[in-house]
Amino acid sequence: MPLVAGIDSSTQSCKVVIRDAASGELVRSGRASHPAGTEVDPNAWFEALQEAIADAGGFADVAAVSIGGQQHGMVLLDQEGRVIRKALLWNDTRSASTATELIDNFGAEYLVKNTGSIPVASFTSTKVLWVTRNEPENASRVAAVCLPHDWLSWRLAGYGPVGESKSGPHLSVLATDASDASGTGYFNPATGEYLDGIWQFILGRKPVLPKIVKPGDWAFAPGEGTDFGIACGAGDNAAAGLGLGADLGDVVVSLGTSGTVFAVTETRVEDPSGTVAGFASASGNFLPLVCTLNAARVMDSFASLLSVSHEQLADLALAADAGAGGAVVIPYFEGERTPNLPDAKGAVLGLTLQNNTRENLARAAIEGMLCGLADGFAVLKSHGVAAKRVLLIGGAAANPAVQVSAAQVFGVDVEIPALGEYVADGAARQACYALTGSAPAWPVEMQASVSADPHPEILQQYHAAQSSIYQS
C-alpha cells in the first residue's frame, strides 16, 4: 500500500511521521530542532523540515504529505516571494495593545460573530496591525500574508523567492485550511470567507491570502511541483484532534508548555466573554478551544522545589489525599490567559502546620494545574459542548498522579492515549484522505484509563483561594 507523511512544524521542532495509508502503521519517522524565541526567520523552519524529512528516510516512496503547524504565526511576503521580516509567533506578546485596538474599533460582539473569537496578542491580525503601527516600511512591502504551515506547504511544493526556488514566487497558489485560518482574526469560519473590513483597518488594503482548501482536497496535486501531493494541512490543535480520532462527546486536554482544552462540535460556539476561541476543526466541523499559559511547567517547578524527579513527584502526590489537606496552588507562574490575568503571579494558599507536607505540596501543584484547565472545561460545557470523556495528552499526561487527579477534578472518564506525535498523525490522516478519497479509520492506542471519580471539593477550595486574591 502507498505511504503517507504527516508533518508537525511546532514552536520547538519539526517532526515527520510516515505511515502506511491502509493500516496507519508507523513505518519510519524523523525530527529536527527549531531555533528558540518568539520571533523566528521562517527559513529556519524550512531548513528543519528538510532535515527532518532526511532523518525520516526521505519522501521518494511517499505518495501524499500534509503539514500541521503552530497556529497564528505571521509570515509576511513581498512581491518576489521573499520573507519581509522574521515571523512573529503565537507567543510573542508585543501585539497586546493592538489586540485591544481591534476590540475597541470593531467591538467584541462583531468580532465574535464574524471571526468566532475575541482577538488576543497571539492572533495574526494583531501582529499585522502591530507591524503597520511600528514598522510602516515593512507594512508597505506586504504582498501576501500567510501562516507557518501555509508557507511551508508552498515551499515544499517548489514555490518561493525569485532565484531561490524551482517554481518561483506565485503568491496566488498559497493555500491553507479553515482550522488554521480560523485563528487569524480576519477569517469567518462559519462562511469560509476572509473579512475585507478588518484588512482595511489593519493594513489599509487586502493582500494576497491563502485559498481555503477543504479536508480531502489537494493544496498542491501530485505532479504540481513534486511527485507527491500536498494536502490542505491544519493548525496544530485541530491536527492533534484529528490524530486522536476525537469525535463528538470527546474533550481533549493537552498538557504541554501551555494547556489547552478543546472539543469537536457540529455547531460553532460564540463566547462574548472571549474565554472560548471559536476555531474550525480539521474535519469540517468546529473546534471551540480554551487556552491556559501554565501547564506542565507547574510540575517542573514543584519537582525542582522539592528536589525530586517527576516520577517521585507522582509518588508524593499519590501519597496525599484528594484536596491536599486544604493546600491550594494558584499556578499563574507566567501570568494567565484564562482567566485574562497577564500580570498575575503564582501562589500557595491554605497552608497550616498540619498540611504543610511534601506530599500535599506535590498534590496541590498537580491539582492547581488541572483546576486551571477545568475552568476552561466548565466554560465549554456551559456552551452546550458534550463531555462524555476526556482524552488527556501531552508529556505530563503519562504521570499517574495527573491521571488520577484528572478523573477527580473533571469528574468524567479519562483516557490517556499512548505517547505519540498526534499533530503529525493528524496531518498524515489528512494526506491519506486526499490520496484515497476517504478519511482513514486508523486505531488509536490507549495506554491507560481512569474512571470518573468526582471530587467537587477540589475545585471549590481552588475557587475560594483564587477569589481571595483576584476578585471577579
Enumerate the active-site residues.
Answer: 236
Query: Which triple of cell numbers denotes residue 360?
Result: 500535599
Give, for 328, the enclosing helix (H) or strand (E). strand 328-330
Query: Which triple of cell numbers denotes residue 448?
Result: 491507560
Terminal CA-CA length for the chain? 57
Integer angstrom CA distances of residue 355 from 41, 288, 359: 49, 38, 9
Radius of gyration from C-alpha coordinates of the chain:
22
Q: How far apart are CA 68 and CA 258, in angstroms?
A: 18
Q: How far apart are CA 284 and CA 264, in angstroms?
A: 10
- How many of the other CB atoms lie within 10 Å of CB of 443? 9
Q: Helix H segments across 224-295?
A: 236-244
Q: Which residues contact 472 (CB under 8 A, 6 or more apart)?
A: none
Q: How far apart are CA 63 and CA 4, in angstroms?
A: 6
Query: Which triple of cell numbers denotes residue 133?
Result: 503601527
Q: Which residues contact 122 (CB under 8 A, 6 or more apart)?
A: 71, 72, 90, 91, 183
SS3 387: coil
SS3 48: helix
Amino acid at 174: L
Integer angstrom CA distances of residue 457 from 311, 353, 354, 372: 26, 21, 19, 15
Q: Which residues contact 16 (CB under 8 A, 6 or more apart)?
A: 5, 6, 7, 8, 29, 30, 31, 52, 53, 55, 56, 424
Peptide bond between residue 148 and the one before it cis (omega within 30 degrees of 0): no
CB distance 422 to 240 below 8 Å: yes
Q: Where are the beta strands (DSSP E) in 70-115?
A: 75-77, 87-88
Q: How far apart are CA 55 and CA 60, in angstroms?
A: 13
Q: How far apart are CA 101 and CA 254, in angstroms?
A: 31
